[in-house]
Amino acid sequence: RLTWQRYHRLSDHMEFHDYLQKEFPNMVQVVNIGTSVEGRQMRVLKISSGQPNAKAVWIDGGTHAREWISPASVSYIVSEFVENRAAHGPYVAGVDLYVAPFVNPDGYEYSHAVDRLWRKNRKAGGSGTCAGTDLNRNYGYKWGGAGSSRQPCKEIYAGNRAFSEPETAAISRFVLANKDKIKAYVTFHSYGQYILYPWGYDRKVPPDYADLDRVGRKMARAIQSAGGPSYTVGNSAATLYAASGGADDWAKGAAGIKYTYTIELRDNGAYGFVLPAQFIEPTARDAMAAIKVIAEEVYNLP
Ligand code: 0X9
Ligand code: ZN
């Protein structure tokens, strides 16, 4: 079973998904949306409000293999929504969630078994070149622009075309099929404590950025009120760096989802990607506080 005391392997998480579906069949459905490069299942957990026309929030984690706090925190959110439902507000029960805790299952396992700091997926390179595509450079909006690379040995290798990877292709298919329901898209990464909104490909903002900024600040405030640290809110390219082909830009620019964020969880550099397990619970509470704000916002949309 899953705990929040250590980082669990993928198989423990899969057992947790199966357990939730079995124990809460009216609320939780495990959907296989595709297969990774190495043949692992790409899973989405549908957490249903039971309301027929509920709006939905997309949450994902584990895009970058080494950012273990991301899938841990996303799984904590799932557990809170399902197993601790009564402790939260009415909007928790009023929106549907689509949750993909492991966008990059192969990379996650590789970062446990072989290389703790692995980032990309596990797409085989051609002979004499390197393995792995950066999944957060492989989405099909402004693909191949600033902050991405065409060289397979780079950590920010964008792949040989947009959605060349089965992992990103599966997500785009699923999200587009549900895009009328999905009103918010939150992708969890680490580290740095940032709440970032589009665009990431360039230091420009979308026309409705004032709404994104307002809700972003609300999330940051909620995190602090829950006892968490300060998170910096801003436009992705201006606040962090320009990077094209990200999931967030695609969700906003191509799928048309209004409230789109990348949240970089803890810490702000002391441990970086190798965040000790004692920080899982407090960091997961940051993530939960942010998602409660988004869920409430979506719930209250006209
Ligand atoms: O570079 C990234 O993909 C993200 N940072 S990380 O350290 N987790 O790798 C930031 C992505 C922000 N979004 C876009 N640039 N579109
Ligand atoms: Zn990342």
pLDDT tens figures, 102-149: 999 999 999 999 999 999 999 999 888 999 999 999 999 999 999 999
Cα of first residue to Cα of last residue in the chain, in angstroms, is 40
Planar angle of CA 71, 10, 70, nearest 5 degrees: 10
Look at residue 126 in the predicted model and tell me its pLDDT. Answer: 85
pLDDT tens figures, 155-190: 999 999 999 999 999 999 999 999 999 999 999 999
Q: How far apart are CA 283 and CA 263, in angstroms?
A: 12
Probe ligand 1: pick from 138, 154, 264, 273, max atoms within 8 Å of CB?
Answer: 264
More confident: 231 or 91 = 231
Q: In what order do the strands lie in the sheet with 232-235?
A: 28-35, 41-47, 96-100, 56-60, 182-190, 259-265, 194-197, 232-235
Structure-token pair, residue 9: 């392997």
Does ligand 1 come within 6 angstroms of the Cβ of 171?
A: no
Q: How far apart are CA 158 and CA 141, in angstroms?
A: 12
Does ligand 1 come within 6 angstroms of the Cβ of 263?
A: no
Helix axis angle for 10-23 and 105-113, nearest 10°, is: 130
Look at residue 299 in the predicted model and tell me its pLDDT. Answer: 95
Beta partners for residue 188, in sequence order: 263
Q: How remote is the CA of residue 58 from the centroid of ligand 2, in Å?
A: 17
Does ligand 1 come within 6 angstroms of the Cβ of 165?
A: no
Nearest by Cα to 13 from 46, 47, 45, 57: 45
Q: How remote is the CA of residue 206 from the centroid of ligand 1, in Å?
A: 18
Which atom of ligand 1 lies nearest, measured to the CA of 264? 8
The yes-or-no answer on residue 297 being catalytic is: no
pLDDT at 90 over 90: no
Probe ligand 1: pick from 60, 64, 117, 187, max atoms within 8 Å of CB?
Answer: 64
Q: Residue with the nearest Cα to atom 4 of ligand 1?
A: 189
Q: Which of 264, 281, 296, 297 is catalytic?
A: 264
pLDDT at 1 over 90: no
Q: Please, what's the b/e burial string for 175-209 (b: 16 or more CB within 10 A of its CB; e: otherwise)?
A: beebbeebbbbbbbbbbbbbbbbbbbbbeebbeeb
State the CB neighbour count (10 A cutoff) for residue 232: 15
Look at residue 89 in the predicted model and tell me its pLDDT. Answer: 81
Residue 229 pLDDT grade (very low, low, confident, very high; cuts 50, 70, 90): very high
Q: How far apart are CA 243 and CA 106, in angstroms?
A: 23
Nearest by Cα to 262 from 181, 205, 193, 214: 193
* DSSP state at residue 258: S
Mean pLDDT for the chain?
97
Q: How remote is the CA of residue 188 from the centroid of ligand 2, in Å?
A: 8
The reported pTM is: 0.98
Q: How far apart are CA 204 and CA 236, in angstroms?
A: 9
Does ligand 1 come within 6 angstroms of the Cβ of 248?
A: yes
Contact yes or no for 291/185 (Cβ under 8 A)? no
Contact yes or no for 244/142 (Cβ under 8 A)? yes
Asked if ipTM goes beyond 0.90, one says yes
Look at residue 127 in the predicted model and tell me its pLDDT. Answer: 85
Residue 247 pLDDT grade (very low, low, confident, very high; cuts 50, 70, 90): very high
